[in-house]
Amino acid sequence: MTLKVMEHVMEGHYDFDLTYITERIISVFFLPDLEEQRYQRNLKEVASMLKSKHQDNFLLLNLSENRNDITRLNPKVQDHGWPDLHAPPLERICAICKAMETWLTSDLQNVVVLHCKGHRGKTGVIVAAYMHYSKISAGADQALTTLAMRKFCEDKVSSSLQPSQNRYIYYFSGLLSGTIKMNSSPLFLHQILIPSLPNFQTGGGFYPFLKIYQSLKLVYTSGVKCYHRRSRAAEREVVFRVQFHTCTVHGAQLWFGKTELDQASTDDRFPPDATVELIFSSGPEKIKGREYNKKDSSIKVDYNISDHVVRWDSYENFNLHREDSIESKKHAHQGKKKCYKISRNPTG
């Protein structure tokens, strides 16, 4: 089958990348901007290839948004998606690892397929997490499997990982090994300090507003996203994004440098020495000596939250099912050649 597939490979451009990370863990990756009809046709091609080689012995774990056509085309699908360029919640990482282990141990013929339409970092988070998870119940052949997963992460996804994605891999590994002790006490976030001003406006500075999410729901606990509100247009752009888990916080302060901030880590407008500091306490009472003085004339705060640019929730439409029936749509560009890549990740 592999030789036949390779005959279709077109050098320099691929609609998807299918990689055998190990003999039983497969990655299927589509570029985030792949045109919808081409994506649908390639989904069908991937399903056909997998069924030809593995019959019904594959479980597809969808790491992207829910889609009806993925479910129709494959015998067994589980949706575990989260927004692109983000880290998934720790409980979702754990659920995916458990699903992989359960499926792979139930039958030696079973394989797992990790489907991702987006950036490779999402697949990297899960492969790296499962590499740590599978060490708990390591068998005789675990060393080779671990080596293959590590090589995949180093060769294909390490450069695509966001700082928060790396942070959640570290969390997951540390919690599994016991090197990170879990803090179960509630924390109250009082202040977010950004001493150095990013240069998002002519003349320097920016017009910021913050959104704080928990499990992608807009609240005032964990997961911070900072925007610049463009003054002459009804637009906004992300200044930085940082995800963290309060169960790993042991103290009153959490500090992030530029290299630890999503988006800002590669943005020259964000000063190299810039930091973001979060101040916590164990109760809602104001922290003595850290009260914010609203009467300070040097600080101007606009409390207008009716502005639709400010109110817009980044994630409210993430998992809405789309009308994506392959059978009911006419496929454009039928004369174009299919182009895809299939490879096997070597262990040496």
Burial of 283 from C-beta contacts in 10 A (0-12 / 13-18 / 19+): exposed
Residue 216 near residue 83, CB atoms below 8 Å:
yes
Active site residues: 116
DSSP letter assigned to residue 246: G
Strands annotated E in the chain: 16-20, 25-30, 58-62, 77-79, 111-117, 188-193, 208-214, 217-219, 224-230, 235-242, 253-257, 275-281, 341-344
Distances (CA, A) of 192 to 186, 226, 301, 304: 18, 10, 14, 19
**Coil, strand or helix: which one is 32?**
coil
For residue 262, the cross-strand partners are: 241
Token representation of residue 203: 């003349």
